[in-house]
Amino acid sequence: MQPDPAETFSWRQVAIPVYGPTLLVSIGAGAILPLVALSARELGASIGVAALVVAMLGIGQLVGDLPAGALAARIGERRALILACLIDVCALIGAFLAPTVVLLSAAVFVAGLANAVFSLARQTYLTAAVPLRIRARAMSTLGGVFRIGSFVGPFVGAIIVTRSNIASAYVFAAVMSLLAAGLSALLPDLAPPADKPGSDERGGRQDPSQAQPTVFSVLAKHRRILLTLGTGVLVLSAARATRQAIIPLWAEAQGIDAATTSIIFGISAGVDILLFYPGGAIMDRYGRAAVAIPAMITLGVGFVLLPLTDTAVTVGTVACLMGLGNGISSGVVLTLGADAAPVEGRSQFLGGWRLCADLGNALGPLAIGAISAIATLGLATVVMGAITWLGSAWLARWIPVKSQR
């Protein structure tokens, strides 16, 4: 008799080869993200064009989400991770060598494509490799490791720029991605599909030796859950992305200087990072709704309270409250996607799932900008709070009962 995979699983199997590459890639990305606009400006771009160059990273992720699912299903998650890291290396070297804004934009776009493949493949791998009983903790840890890297990266980038130049940060990020490719190669192969549906607590895996369903056939088959639960995830992602944009904007509007704003944001990020594992433990014990809904309510409260603040202390207090909501929900999108994903067509489904989340990441800040253009920033913030609360009610309705506990 084969041993129960749930009983033989060990954190050591995934600790270094899964979380290690995520940490390295996120440190590299964090080091260059604040510098992309400056690189564009050095090449002669206007402020508007520089902002567009930065946006190419998110656009690349959106464009790459669905193809990433098809690629991972075809070549396997481990190879997809390695390939994504190597493509990222090429993109970062391209950004380092780019002599024009157009070529820099192309390199940033390709980096976004690589990030889409990397994110999809690591989620798919963990979904199949980790037992259901600890899935939320595994996914929350993945989200937490990414946030730690994103927190550390800008400080590393600042040191590099101080001692060398902006272009050197791209080389550093390329080295991080190359090391991540090496660690990804250490991933153990996933077990073949279980003989009986449901017999493997991890849900088994797709068999790449068999003909794979197309992305669109999988999305059409599971369109109901993507249109219902996926919409809730879109709103949650929009609230998270808007939080990152609105706090600096509101602080600036209150006359708070850039250095103080950075401190406020850093403290909020610290609260965020501290709560990723407790959030996963709560989800594993009490269900996904026990974290998703309170997190969205907390974020909504933060949005509504922010227009009432006018000092560094009050803005910082609300920022920490929002960091609490954001931090405890680390990994909830990944976990809900893993719960909803079928064994057959898992990678393709998760490509659609990630598209929902990435659309939210893009639409949230755009909505704030649009409302602010015709009204005020304070009103835009309150509207986002109301949308977030509606999203919490929507998620309460559509999170499956089996995921409640």
Dist. CA 313–CA 134, nearest whole Å:
38
10-188 and 216-403 have identical folds: yes
Q: From the options 3.40.50.450, 3.90.1150.10, 1.20.1250.20, 1.20.210.10, give the CATH code of 10-188.
A: 1.20.1250.20
Interval 83-110: pLDDT, tens: 999 999 999 999 999 999 999 999 999 9
Nearest residue to 114 (alpha-carbon basis) of 57, 169, 164, 156? 57
* 3-state class (DSSP) for residue 375: coil
Which class does domain 216-403 fall in? mainly alpha
Cβ-contact 166, 42 below 8 angstroms: yes
Dist. CA 119–CA 22, nearest whole Å:
9
Interval 58-78: pLDDT, tens: 999 999 999 999 999 999 999
Given its phi and psi angles, is residue 297 left (phi above 0), alpha (psi -120 to 50 degrees) or beta? alpha
Dist. CA 402–CA 136, nearest whole Å:
14
Interval 147-174: pLDDT, tens: 899 888 888 888 888 888 888 999 999 9
Domain boundaries, the chain: 10-188, 216-403
Residues of the chain with pLDDT under 70: 1-10, 190-211, 401-405
* 3-state class (DSSP) for residue 91: helix
pTM metric for this prediction:
0.87
The radius of gyration computed from the CA coordinates of the chain, to the nearest angstrom, equals: 21
Tell me the percentage of the chain whose pLDDT exceeds 70.
91
List of residues 6+ apart from 58 with CB closer than 8 A: 112, 358, 361, 362
DSSP alpha helix (H) spans, 76-165: 77-97, 101-129, 135-163
